[in-house]
């Protein structure tokens, strides 16, 4: 439970950072695309001037900065653990240096390619389907004009995200259990044969994707909804006066306005494309060998292989492997975006 709370807190702070980044990015893009003559602009100001000008937004970003500095940058020297045979007595820098030996764990297992493939394919489905559905939910939510119904809808959308993945695992088990599951209970009453999902590996990718989307999509729609709320209402009113219907406003005004948000969120998500959602896979699938072929990801395999001896060095080596691949993917994606349209690149 403590780990799930920590993950929820880190995700919330990450959303604040992403939202702040998008606000600044769109503000800069709006300034660059202004129709005012160039001579009306003053000389470009420095970093501290912008901090003062956007001091409210900067203060909003302080918790995210402190959080990421404390939990993402200060632990960076711990990367050294991946190159030593760690033991408690000698500590990190006193442990024996073994070079790349810890990386041989995945290489020699013969499962590196399959585990990486499963992790990437699941994350691709999570990223693209998740963003499409989150954007759709944000657009539909924006079209709700009844304030009470909108608040109720937002609450119902956000609620699954704050449910522990342990409880989600119990929920899925009670739905799919062969003997007492809700679905099999209905099938029996209809005179049909019972379904055995826990022995059928082919059905689990769709199940895991549906469960993930149910739990996080509503929360992920917050950023898209915030971007939609930032659209100038006079533009939408002008389109309505000109006779544009709901679908035309969404197609020609709302969706183009979300372009920068979509690109930024995709670039952020691609950085973690090799890191699987351990809580989701472990709590729902568990340790069922019959399902490993289609549900095993890097995190679950490493957990099963290292839990008996608490091999922190191997776990650190695997984490470094994932981080390097994610970094390369983000750099390549950002380079491609910069070539197409520099305004949408992260840097």
What are the residues facing 96 on neighbouring strands? Answer: 85
Q: What residue ranges do the domains of the chain occupy?
A: 1-74, 111-307
The CA distance from 128 to 134, in Å, is 10
Q: pLDDT tens digits for 66-108? A: 998 998 888 888 889 899 988 888 888 888 998 888 888 778 8
Where residue 34 falls among pLDDT bands split at 50, 70, 90?
A: very low
How is domain 111-307 classified at the CATH fold level?
MetI-like fold (1.10.3720)
Where residue 118 falls among pLDDT bands split at 50, 70, 90?
A: very high
Share of the chain above pLDDT 70, in %: 86
Q: pLDDT tens digits for 162-175? A: 999 999 999 999 99
The CA distance from 266 to 264, in Å, is 5
Query: Among 14-18, 69-73, 143-147, 274-278, which is the least confidently predicted range?
Result: 14-18
What's the Cα-to-Cα distance from 120 to each of 204, 211, 277, 293, 297, rounded to whole Å?
A: 16, 17, 11, 14, 9
- State the DSSP string of 14-70: HHHHHHHHHHHHHHHHHHHT--S-GGGSPPPP-HHHHHHHTHHHHHHHHHHHHHHII
Query: Among 60-69, 105-114, 161-170, 285-294, which is the least confidently predicted range?
Result: 105-114
Pick 60 or 43 by higher pLDDT.
60
Q: Name which of 169, 126, 154, 75 is nearest 276 in CA terms.
A: 126
Pick 6 or 58 by higher pLDDT.
58
Task: Give the CA angle between residues 307, 298, 335 to the nearest 5°.
Answer: 140
Average pLDDT, the chain: 83
Model pTM score:
0.79
What's the Cα-to-Cα distance from 237 to each of 91, 226, 286, 332, rounded to whole Å?
A: 64, 19, 52, 40
Q: Name which of 123, 128, 126, 73 is nearest 325 in CA terms.
A: 123
Where residue 11 falls among pLDDT bands split at 50, 70, 90?
A: low
Q: Do residues 322 and 278 make contact, with C-beta atoms less than 8 angstroms apart?
A: no
The CA distance from 172 to 59, in Å, is 41
Q: Contacts by 208-211 with C-beta closer than 8 Å and gap 24+?
A: 208/122, 208/280, 208/281, 208/284, 208/285, 208/295, 209/122, 209/125, 209/126, 209/129, 211/168, 211/172, 211/280, 211/284
Query: Among 9-13, 162-166, 169-173, 292-296, which is the least confidently predicted range?
Result: 9-13
The CA distance from 239 to 260, in Å, is 22
Q: Do residues 219 and 131 make contact, with C-beta atoms less than 8 angstroms apart?
A: no
Q: What pLDDT is stored for residue 31 in this prediction?
A: 47
Q: Do residues 319 and 302 make contact, with C-beta atoms less than 8 angstroms apart?
A: no
Q: Do residues 347 and 334 make contact, with C-beta atoms less than 8 angstroms apart?
A: yes
Where residue 137 falls among pLDDT bands split at 50, 70, 90?
A: very high
Q: pLDDT tens digits for 169-201? A: 999 999 999 888 899 999 999 989 999 999 899
């Amino acid at each position: 439970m403590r780990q799930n709370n920590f993950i929820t807190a880190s995700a919330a702070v990450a959303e604040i950072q992403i939202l702040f980044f998008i606000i600044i990015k769109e503000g800069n893009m709006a300034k660059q695309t202004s129709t005012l003559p160039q001579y009306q602009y003053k000389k470009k100001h420095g970093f501290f001037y912008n901090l003062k000008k956007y001091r409210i937004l900067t203060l909003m970003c302080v918790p995210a900065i402190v959080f990421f500095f404390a939990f993402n940058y200060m632990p960076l020297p711990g990367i050294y653990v991946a190159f030593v045979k760690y033991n408690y007595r000698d500590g990190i820098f006193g442990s024996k240096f073994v070079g790349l030996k810890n990386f041989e764990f995945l290489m020699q297992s013969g499962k590196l390619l399959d585990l990486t493939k499963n992790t990437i394919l699941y994350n691709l489905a999570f990223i693209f389907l998740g963003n499409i559905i989150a954007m759709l939910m944000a657009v539909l939510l924006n079209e709700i004009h009844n304030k009470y119904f909108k608040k109720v809808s937002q609450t119902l959308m956000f609620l699954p995200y704050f449910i522990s993945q342990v409880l989600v695992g119990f929920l899925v088990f009670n739905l799919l259990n062969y003997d007492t599951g809700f679905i099999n209970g209905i099938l029996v009453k209809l005179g049909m044969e019972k379904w055995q999902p826990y022995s059928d590996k082919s059905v689990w990718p769709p199940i895991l994707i549906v469960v993930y989307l149910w739990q996080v999509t509503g929360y992920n729609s917050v950023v898209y909804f915030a971007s939609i709320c930032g659209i100038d209402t006079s533009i939408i009113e002008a389109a309505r006066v000109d006779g544009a219907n709901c679908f035309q406003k969404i197609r020609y005004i709302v969706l183009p306005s979300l372009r920068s948000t979509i690109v930024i969120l995709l670039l952020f998500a691609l950085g973690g494309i090799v890191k699987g959602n351990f809580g989701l896979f472990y709590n729902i699938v568990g340790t069922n060998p019959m399902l490993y072929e289609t549900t095993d990801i890097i995190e679950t395999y490493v957990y099963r292989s290292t839990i008996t001896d608490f091999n922190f060095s191997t776990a650190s080596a695997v984490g470094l492997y994932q981080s390097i691949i994610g970094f390369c993917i983000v750099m390549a994606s950002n380079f491609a975006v910069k070539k197409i349209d520099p305004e949408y690149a992260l840097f």
